[in-house]
């Protein structure tokens, strides 16, 4: 996740599914993309506008990134987003509008107290947005861990065949080797809980994307290049990007970060979604980064002789 921004969405057990209206006798046209709607977004407000799930989701994410609250693009009513782990669906409900609360609070006050109230509300809305993001992240976590386990099962680590016959202890898999294998398996990418895919990018590439999002210059602007290279001169410093599974801050010089290709365009992770290499290997292959070598299932038999798979 980008630490600089925030987000929200509704989903459940199966990350492939997103809440939609199942009764669709007629094909409707989405008010945003004008395509025939295959998944109609079920709105929590009284708007009679038809949105496809993708556009509705994207509109909530844009709103969240612009004003720290997801709102209906038509009536602007605040929308609460939850991920229903049981069904794998996004669930939308009404949130109490903060503007109405503000009007009541400021009624009859002088200019100075109103200014102080505004300042306090601004801080509050930022922390509420962070809470929203944390809540959704906690709701999606089990589904994301399951997707990583499935990725590991579909792209297994090589089995040490020789040791089976000889009865000698099987080779252990190092964290680095497992990470390298996961990177090679990237043709079959791990799935993100938002139904998109996680792609492995370098710290430089991730920093570039972050700059594109937050800097007021295009990538070919000299100032953009200057700022980017100043970051890269400090490879061990932390990017304002954290792993969404362990919360670890990632460094500019990190060789591999698994980031969702959808970036911040879904309310499910409106501040992007990142998984560090350690978490990917841990959850996909049950290999811990701390250990110099970790034994695979075959190597559970007692033995002193551990062959470390080279990088
Ligand atoms: Zn649409
Ligand atoms: Zn509405
Ligand atoms: Zn995603
Ligand atoms: Zn992590």
pLDDT tens sequence across 61-96: 999 999 889 999 999 999 999 999 888 889 999 987
Taking alpha carbons only, the member of 254, 247, 165, 246 closest to residue 203 is: 254
Structure confidence at residue 48 (pLDDT): 93
Nearest ligand, CA of residue 267? 3
Q: Calculate how far, in angstroms, residue 21's C-alpha sits from the geometric centre of ligand 3.
A: 22
Q: 261 versus 11: which is more confidently predicted?
A: 261
Q: DSSP character for 254?
A: -
Angle at 292 between CA 287 and CA 294, to 5 degrees: 35
Give the dihedral of Cα atoms 75, 80, 86, 90; nearest 10 deg: 40
Number of residues written out for the chain: 311
Report how far residue 263's alpha carbon sits from residue 209's, in angstroms, rounded to the nearest whole number. Answer: 9
The structure tokens 């938002």 sit at: 194
User: How many whole angstroms from 2 Cα to the centroid of ligand 4?
Assistant: 14
Dihedral of the alpha carbons of 92, 129, 245, 43, in degrees to the nearest 10: 10
- Considering every ligand atom shown, identify the ligand nearest to the alpha carbon of residue 46 and give its number: 2
Average pLDDT over residues 168-188: 64
Q: Is 179 exposed, middle or buried (0-12, 13-18, 19+ CB in 10 A)?
A: buried
**Three-state SS at 163:** helix
| DSSP letter assigned to residue 298 | G
Ligand 4: distance of its center to the CA of 308 in Å? 24
Confidence check: pLDDT of 268 > 70:
yes
pLDDT value of residue 89? 85
Assess whether pLDDT exceeds 90 at residue 45.
yes
Per the model's pLDDT, the better-predicted residue between 217 and 17 turns out to be 217
Ligand 3 center–CA 264 separation, angstroms: 8
pLDDT at 295: 39
pLDDT-derived band of residue 181, with 50, 70 and 90 as boundaries?
low
Quick one: which H or E segment has residue 223? helix 222-232
CA of 261 to the centre of ligand 1 (A): 19
Protein residues with C-beta less than 5 angstroms from the ion ligand 1: 30, 32-33, 52, 55
* Tokens of residue 238, six digits: 């932390």
Q: How far is it, in rounded angstroms, from Cα 251 to Cα 232?
A: 10
* 169 against 36, higher pLDDT: 36
For residue 57, report the distance from its CA to the centre of ligand 3, in Å: 12
Supply the pLDDT for residue 170: 54
More confident residue, 124 or 18: 124
Task: Report the distance separating Cα 163 and Cα 36, nearest Å.
Answer: 57
Calculate how far, in angstroms, residue 249's C-alpha sits from the geometric centre of ligand 4. 9
Average pLDDT over residues 225-248: 87
- The ipTM, to two decimals, is 0.94
Confidence (pLDDT) at 44: 94
3-state secondary structure of 214: helix
Residue 234 CA to ligand 4 center (angstroms) comes to 21
Q: Is the pLDDT of residue 188 over 50?
A: yes
The kind and range of the H/E element at 257 are strand 257-260
Share of the chain above pLDDT 70, in %: 72
pLDDT tens digits, residue range 121-153?
A: 777 777 888 888 899 999 999 999 999 999 888
- Closest ligand to residue 256's CA: 4
pLDDT for the residue numbered 63: 94
Ligand lying nearest the CA atom of residue 241: 4
Stronger pLDDT, 196 or 5, i.e. the higher one: 196
What is the pLDDT of the chain when averaged over all its residues? 78
- Please say if the pLDDT value at position 308 is more than 70: no
Closest ligand to the CA of 50 = 1
User: Measured in angstroms, how far is the CA atom of residue 236 from the centroid of ligand 4?
Assistant: 16
Higher pLDDT, 301 or 252: 252
């Amino acid at each position: 996740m980008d630490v600089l921004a925030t987000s929200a969405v509704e989903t459940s057990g199966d990350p492939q599914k997103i809440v939609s209206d199942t009764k669709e006798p007629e094909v409707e046209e989405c008010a945003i993309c004008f395509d025939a709607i295959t998944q109609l977004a079920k709105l929590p407000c009284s708007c009679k506008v038809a949105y496809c799930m993708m556009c509705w989701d994207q509109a909530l994410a844009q709103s969240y990134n612009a004003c720290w609250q997801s709102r209906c693009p038509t009536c602007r009513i605040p929308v609460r987003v939850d991920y229903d782990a049981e069904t794998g669906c996004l669930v939308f409900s009404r949130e109490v509008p903060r503007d109405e609360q503000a009007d009541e609070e400021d009624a009859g006050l002088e200019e100075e107290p109103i200014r102080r109230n505004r300042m306090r509300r601004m801080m509050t809305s930022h922390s509420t947005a962070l809470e929203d993001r944390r809540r959704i992240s906690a709701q999606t976590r089990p589904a994301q861990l399951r997707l990583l386990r499935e990725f590991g099962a579909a792209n297994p680590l090589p089995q040490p065949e020789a040791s089976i016959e000889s009865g000698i202890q099987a080779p252990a898999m190092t964290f680095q080797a497992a990470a390298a294998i996961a990177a090679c398996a990237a043709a079959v990418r791990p799935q993100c809980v938002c139904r998109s895919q996680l792609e492995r990018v370098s710290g430089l590439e991730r920093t570039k994307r972050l700059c594109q999002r937050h800097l007021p210059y295009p990538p070919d602007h000299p100032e953009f290049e200057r700022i980017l290279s100043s970051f890269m001169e400090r490879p061990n410093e932390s990017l304002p990007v954290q792993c969404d599974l362990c919360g670890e801050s990632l460094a500019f010089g990190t060789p591999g970060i698994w980031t969702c290709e959808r970036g911040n365009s879904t309310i499910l992770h409106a501040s992007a979604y990142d998984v560090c290499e350690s978490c990917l290997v841990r959850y996909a292959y049950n290999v811990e980064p701390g250990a110099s070598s970790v034994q695979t299932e075959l190597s559970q038999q007692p033995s002193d002789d551990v062959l470390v798979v080279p990088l």
